[in-house]
Structure 1
Amino acid sequence: MPCFIALSPHFPLNFRLFWSRLQAAGIAVLGVADEPWEALGTDLQQALTAYWRVDDMQDLDALTAACQELQARHGKIQWIESHNEYWLETEAELRARLDVAGPRPEQLTMRKRKSGMQEAYRHAGIPVAAGGLVTSWERCQQWRDALGYPLVAKPDIGVGAAQTYKISSDAELEAFWQHKPDQDYFLQAFISGELYSFDGLVDRSGRIIFCGSHHFSHGIMDVVNHQLDLSYYSLREIPPELRHWGEKTLVAFDVRERFFHFEFFLQPNGQWRALEVNLRPPGGWTLDMMNFSADIDLYQVYADLIAHGAVADFAPQRRYHVAFAGRKERVYRLSHEEIMTHYGQFLVHQASIDRVFYPVMGFQGYLLRSPDLDQLQKMIAAIQEVR
């Protein structure tokens, strides 16, 4: 039976469906994490062929030993994945140590570092905001002189908008440099525009199996730094230029047999600029939004891809716009009960949100769908209207 190492299979909650679908497709799913077996829950326990608990997920030697023991007991490991940005480097190191196919550490420079992405974008002719790695105060000043304000400073390796800063003056630049975390930072021109994503799944040859696009109410940096309510919705038709640049990005980063989440800005002048590449499923509830948009099951599609190497005759239609509307700790015009009463026929999911996602998604989320975008936008506005 083919063996698949699932790192940290308990998180996030909705991704547990990956493991149950893989097991049903005839794949031995071998979980490795630091959670006690009893804390996994019955659904995940039943989806795992075996589970190995380690004391520390940061201990690469312990993870390697766990994988080797599981391999000795169950057979050759053919995949190592978590579907989580945080573990990309760990996955790559384990693949190298265990000789498993997939991205290796030397390939992550352009796939995970902002500076590496910048180089890959430029080499492929994909428009991107100018910027570069800053390793000294002098280099900061050089980029300031070259680009002018405003600027954006972000960790060269980072997820979302954590520890990301908009800089609009010399005083702010100096304060950033004096107080920044002790890690490499990437400084680039601030781009104003609307945030879109290009998301999907490709097969082993890099061919798109399914893709979609989402439009965001705000940039993630603004949502986090200004504590805004996030909303975003799927598009039934992907803008042709966005698809063009998305497909070029797939080629530039040699994406194969995996999900992807690419971010782009649409500027006021109508031009697109690449923001960043994430070689994992889109975060939050986005994968579920893609499922609801076309009445499909991408967890199952991925399992079929892993089990059979291809997905045949899969051409679903995006019949709905699907929206996420998040709420934070404010006093809103509509109560939760009123939302359920007024919009229940459009709601496909609602739940409280894991605390780790609160800065972006809020503490309560709602997924709604409708073929009518205007109708959907009015519901989003009503749900997020404060008193």
Structure 2
Amino acid sequence: MNIIFVEPHFPSNQREFVRALAAVGANVIGIGETPGDYLDDELRGWMSRYHQIGSVTDVAALTDAVRWIQDQVWVDALEATIEAHTMAAAQAREATGIPGTSVHTTWLCRDKPSMKQALREAGVPTAASTGADSADEVKDFAARVGYPLILKPRAGAGAAGTTRVDNDTDLDAALARYGAEGTGSIAVEEFIEGHEGFYDTIAVGGHVEMDFACHYYPGVLEAMRTRWISPMFVSTNRIDEAEGYGAVREMGARVIEALGIGTSATHMEWFASPKGLRFSEIGARPPGVGCWDLYSAGNDIDIYRSWANAIVHGHTGDAPSRRYSSGIIALRPDRDGQIGGYFGLDEIQGRYGQWVIDSHLPDPGTPTQPVEAGYMANAWVRMRHPDYDVLRGMLDDVGKTVHVYAR
């Protein structure tokens, strides 16, 4: 099977998808923005050829590159695993007759108001929402639904550009900021109080073949806005047995069916609220923040290979063992500047060393990254343990014990 893979070089874990496709027998053809001479020998060795273009989100350039490749070989699939690349890939697919996730499905997975409207029509419980092109439309929605509200770019990923507003003053300030940034049309949603988590799948032919559930502590919006918090997310190994996950799985299956997702990785956000389970949003692509590495470490699998098997052979292969829960905790510097040093690392290593998967501890002198840059922007530690509650306690202890100093 000949598979075009979009942007095999950046970010760094993109190479894992290429490795896995090659390992299960695919002939991988890369299209990316990085000059071919910059690719290392290992990555080049996993691909039969590589084609550089100026931007993989330039639909015309991507489509021209795909057509050039089609003149050389038959192309069975075109895969993109980065949110910002998925629409261009879908448009190139449809323009060149390659099967895969459609433009309509990709649009529904990126345009949040349209996504939620389609899901409400399918009976999936979601927050009240709308797409707004003017301040008056936002204010009319606020008058109908009430505060608090969430404002975000219609096609944003994660918490990027997301703002909570609690009153008219907050709303005016947020609208002024979006206007200054040239954001244009935005998504406006009812704020859902409750616990936030996510549900990730690999679907084959519209049916879930492999799945995982994770929990955020605290929720993403608070985590990405508050420096003193060491946020974490934890993948549970209780999805097959604990109460509540059946409802999450049922909701996920309904979402996949309603949006017309066929064979694809998915990343779905959900809330367990006083009003019941509420769906938040979906991406027709793998999760970010190294989450698949946690699933592999916790379940005795190579999930990249599971995904590649789904694309190439129509099945994921070995089932997850559910042997461990696994998680990551982000360790923020106490201020912006440069990393000065760490306190408490030896203590944590002595207590939990056997359960540490890996860590990232930038050297002193490394420039810090802003809080909103995400879980892996600065220092972090990833761990696993057979007991979910024990793991959560260990990660929390890491956050309380390890201090990252900046200067």
* TM, length-normalised to structure 1: 0.92
Counterpart of 1:323 in structure 2 is 327
Q: How does 1:164-203 map to 2 (within 5 A)?
A: 164-180=162-178, 181-182=181-182, 183-203=184-204
Q: Quote the residue 1:113 is aligned against.
A: 111
Asked whether the equivalents of residues 198 and 214 of structure 1 are also in contact (C-alpha less than 8 Å), the reply is: yes
* 1:368 equivalenced with 2:383 (yes/no): yes
The answer to whether structure 1 residue 309 and structure 2 residue 314 are counterparts is yes
Q: Structure 1 residues 311 and 382, CA, compared in 2 at 3 Å: closer, same or farther?
A: closer
CA deviation after TM superposition for structure 1 residue 352, in Å: 5.3
Aligned pairs for 1:156-167 (under 5 A) are 156-167=154-165
> Do the aligned partners of 2:105 and 2:261 also contact (CA within 8 Å) in 1?
no
Alignment match, 2:292: 287
8 Å Cα contact 1:9-1:82 kept in structure 2: no
Q: Is the 8 A contact 1:327 1:384 kept in 2?
A: yes
Shift in Å, 1:55: 2.6
- Measure, in 2, the Cα distance between the counterparts of 1:126 and 1:326: 32
Per-residue displacement from partner, 1:105-149 (whole Å, max 9, x unpaired)?
233332210111111220111111112111222212211111111
**Aligned match of 1:259:** 265
1:346 aligns with 2:352: no
Report % sequence identity. Answer: 26
2:95 — aligned with what?
97
Q: How does 1:37-116 map to 2 (within 5 A)?
A: 37-73=36-72, 75-116=73-114
CA deviations on 1:202-251 (whole Å, 9 max, x unpaired) are 11x22221101001102222222223432011112222222221222122
Take 1:69 and 1:357, find their aligned partners in 2: how far apart are those partners?
Answer: 42
Work out whether residues 134 and 185 of structure 2, in 8 Å CA contact, stay in contact via their aligned partners in 1: no
1:49 is paired with a residue of what secondary structure?
strand
The whole-number CA distance in structure 1 between the counterparts of 2:310 and 2:216 is: 29
Partner residue, 1:31: 30
**Contact in 1 for aligned 2:149/2:165 (Cα 8 Å):** yes
1:291 partner amino acid: S
Deviation of 1:22 (Å): 1.2
**One-letter code of the match for 2:351?**
H
What's the CA shift string for 1:228-281, capped at 9, x where partnerless? Answer: 4320111122222222212221221222111111110111x2611111011111
> Unpaired segments of 5 or more residues in structure 2?
240-244, 335-339, 363-367
Structure 2 Cα separation of the partners of residues 339 and 13 of structure 1? 28
Deviation at 1:38, TM superposition (A): 2.9
Could you say which residue in structure 1 is the equivalent of 2:215? Answer: 215
Q: Distance in 2 between matches of 1:133 and 1:55?
A: 32
Aligned amino acid, residue 163 of structure 1 = G
SS of structure 2 residue aligned to 1:369:
strand
1:41 deviates by 2.2
Q: What is the match of residue 234 of structure 1? A: 235
Which contiguous aligned blocks of 4+ residues in structure 1 show a shift greater than 4 angstroms?
Answer: 331-334, 352-358
1:321 is displaced (CA, Å) by 0.8
User: How far apart are residue 311 of structure 1 and its match?
Assistant: 4.1
Distance in 2 (alpha carbons) for counterparts of 1:12 and 1:384: 26
SS of 1:287's equivalent? helix
* Aligned twin of 1:377: 392
What SS does structure 2 have at the residue aligned with 1:77?
Answer: coil
Alpha-carbon shift at residue 356 of structure 1 (Å): 9.7
Q: How far apart in 1 are the matches of 2:341 and 2:219?
A: 22
Q: Give how far 1:166 is off.
A: 0.6
Q: CA separation in 2, counterparts of 1:107 and 1:381? A: 38
Does the C-alpha gap of structure 1 residues 136 and 234 become closer, same or farther in structure 2, counting only changes over 3 Å? same
**Contact 1:220 1:360 (C-alpha < 8 Å) held by counterparts:** no
Residue pair 2:148, 2:167 contacting (<8 A) in 1 also? yes
Q: Which runs of 5+ in 1 are unaligned?
A: none
The 1:311/1:165 distance shift into structure 2, 3 A limit, reads: closer
| Local SS of the residue matching 2:396 | helix
> Does the alignment pair 1:153 with 2:158?
no
Answer yes or no: is the 8 Å Cα contact 1:132–1:186 preserved in 2: yes
Q: Does 1:278 align with 2:280?
A: no
Query: Contact conserved, 1:200 with 1:260, CA < 8 A, in 2?
Result: yes
DSSP 3-state at the match of 1:344: helix
Match of 1:247? 253
CA deviations over 1:259-310 (Å, ceiling 9, x no partner): 111110111x261111101111111111111112211111112222222223
Question: Residue 110 of structure 1 contacts residue 119 of structure 1 at CA under 8 Å; is this kept in 2?
Answer: no
Q: What CA distance in whole angstroms lies between the structure 2 residues aligned with 1:352 and 1:10?
A: 23
Once the two structures are superposed, residues 42-72 of structure 1 have per-residue CA deviations (whole angstroms, 9 ceiling, x without a partner) of 3212211111112333433322222222222
59 and 138 in structure 1: CA distance in 2 versus 1, 3 angstrom threshold: closer
State the Cα deviation string for residues 74-120 of structure 1 (Å, max 9, x = none): x1112111211110111011102211111232333322101111112
